């Protein structure tokens, strides 16, 4: 006999975990990610016109953050250099999930083994090649621009994203509720998105946060190596690469963009954790998150 639904939690139940229990988490996450995001998205609006160039790797002379390897104002380059990194990373992550989500859900819900093999086995070929190596090989032939870099980064992220989605969705798809929905004649969309997708939402949200962090690092590394950007482009990763020779002479040209990239990656994960904490609810012992009472053989009191 199950515990009747009341306003108070049953004795001995795990405490309810919500974002209210840790109000500082959102504040810290927003602070860490807010600074680089604001600079990346709004920075070009306040960059102004380029002034006369000064000597390389110097401080002062109206350049409060110093000058870079060709004498340009570092702060102006910082204001201009964030948008390519952020936009490329967001576009690559969105493109990867736009392909991986339907592939993973179809593979998890289909009863046709040949279809699952047809969808998943080609991804193993891409997965076997190191991501950065594949990007460099393609870039050596095609010389992609920013959009081409976003497509390449999305391509190397599709295989493991599709596998995670398939594994998570397969567990939810094996529940009796999905078979009941199928017998009731519910549409594939209702089963895949309405039930399986919602059951896998927490795992997918966590993966999205981790994946966006990895994509940011991959985009920055590719730009650091000169893929998808010009050698002297206003880009945070390019700034780190091109100015590292003067690190001990004028460190701000390297430290500022590097800290902004780190802030983006750390802030993304903290923000995802904080957002997931708001959805955390007490789970009754013996029941998995997203599982309905009827699936555990429970009956009403």
Asked if the structure places residue 9 within a domain, the reply is no
Tokens of 234: 């206003």
Q: With a cut of 70, say whether residue 10 has pLDDT above it.
A: no
Mean pLDDT of 179-200: 75
Q: What is the CATH number of the domain that holds 254?
A: 1.10.3720.10
Residues spanned by the domain of 249: 19-46+61-284
Rounded to the nearest 10 degrees, the angle between the axes of helix 74-109 and helix 113-128 is 150
Asked if the structure places residue 1 within a domain, the reply is no
Predicted confidence at residue 260, as pLDDT, reads 92
Distance CA 278, CA 119 (A): 35
Please, how many CA atoms are within 13 Å of residue 101, restricted to the half-sphere of its CB?
A: 19
Asked if the structure places residue 65 within a domain, the reply is yes
Asked if the structure places residue 73 within a domain, the reply is yes
C-alpha dist (Å) from residue 262 to 44, 143, 156, 228, 294: 20, 27, 22, 21, 46
Q: Count Cβ atoms within 10 A of the Cβ of residue 5 and give its class: 0-12 exposed, 13-18 middle, 19 or more buried.
A: exposed
Residue that is written with structure tokens 């798809």 in the block: 173
- Per the structure, the count of domains in the chain is 1
Asked if the structure places residue 41 within a domain, the reply is yes
pLDDT tens readout for residues 13-37: 444 444 444 567 778 888 888 999 9
Predicted confidence at residue 280, as pLDDT, reads 59
Residue that is written with structure tokens 């969309």 in the block: 189
C-alpha dist (Å) from residue 123 to 4, 56, 98: 48, 47, 15
Asked if the structure places residue 53 within a domain, the reply is no
Distance of CA 205 to the CA centre of its chain: 9
Q: How much is the pTM? A: 0.74
Residue 7's pLDDT band, with cuts at 50, 70 and 90, is: very low
Weakest-pLDDT range from 83-97, 187-201, 204-218: 187-201
Residues 16 and 9: beta-carbon distance below 8 Å: yes
Calculate what percentage of the chain has a pLDDT beyond 70.
Answer: 84
Q: With a cut of 70, say whether residue 300 has pLDDT above it.
A: no
Q: With a cut of 90, say whether residue 120 has pLDDT above it.
A: no
Asked if the structure places residue 289 within a domain, the reply is no
Residues ≥6 apart with Cβ < 8 Å to 118: none
Distance CA 293, CA 301 (A): 12
Q: With a cut of 50, say whether residue 282 has pLDDT above it.
A: no
- In this structure, the dihedral spanned by the alpha carbons of residues 219, 224, 227 and 231, taken in order and rounded to 10 degrees, is 140
Residue 184's pLDDT band, with cuts at 50, 70 and 90, is: confident
Residues 178 and 294: beta-carbon distance below 8 Å: no
Asked if the structure places residue 121 within a domain, the reply is yes
- DSSP structure class, residue 73: B
């Amino acid at each position: 006999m199950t515990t009747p639904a009341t306003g108070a939690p049953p004795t001995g139940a795990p405490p309810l975990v919500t974002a209210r229990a840790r109000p500082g988490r959102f504040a810290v996450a927003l602070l860490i990610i807010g600074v680089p995001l604001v600079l990346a998205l709004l920075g070009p609006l306040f960059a102004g016109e380029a002034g006369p160039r000064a000597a390389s790797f110097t401080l002062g002379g109206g350049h409060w953050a110093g000058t870079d390897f060709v004498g340009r104002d570092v702060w102006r380059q910082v204001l201009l250099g964030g948008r390519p990194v952020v936009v490329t990373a967001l576009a690559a992550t969105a493109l990867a999930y736009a392909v991986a989500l339907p592939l993973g859900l179809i593979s998890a819900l289909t009863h046709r083994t040949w279809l699952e093999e047809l969808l998943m086995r080609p991804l193993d070929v891409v997965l076997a090649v190191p991501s950065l190596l594949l990007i460099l090989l393609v870039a050596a032939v095609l010389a992609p621009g920013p959009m081409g870099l976003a497509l390449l980064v999305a391509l190397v992220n599709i295989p493991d994203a599709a596998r995670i989605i398939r594994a998570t969705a397969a567990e939810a798809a094996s529940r009796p509720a999905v078979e009941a929905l199928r017998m009731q004649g519910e549409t594939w969309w209702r089963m895949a998105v309405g039930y399986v997708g919602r059951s896998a939402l927490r795992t997918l949200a966590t993966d999205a946060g981790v994946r966006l962090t990895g994509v940011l690092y991959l985009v920055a590394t590719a730009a650091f190596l000169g893929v998808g950007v010009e050698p002297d482009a206003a880009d945070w990763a390019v700034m780190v690469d091109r100015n590292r020779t003067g690190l001990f002479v004028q460190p701000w040209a390297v430290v500022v963009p590097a800290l902004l990239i780190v802030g983006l990656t750390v802030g993304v994960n903290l923000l995802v954790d904080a957002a997931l904490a708001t959805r955390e609810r007490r789970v009754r012992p013996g029941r998995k998150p997203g599982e309905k009472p009827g699936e555990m053989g429970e009956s009403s009191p």
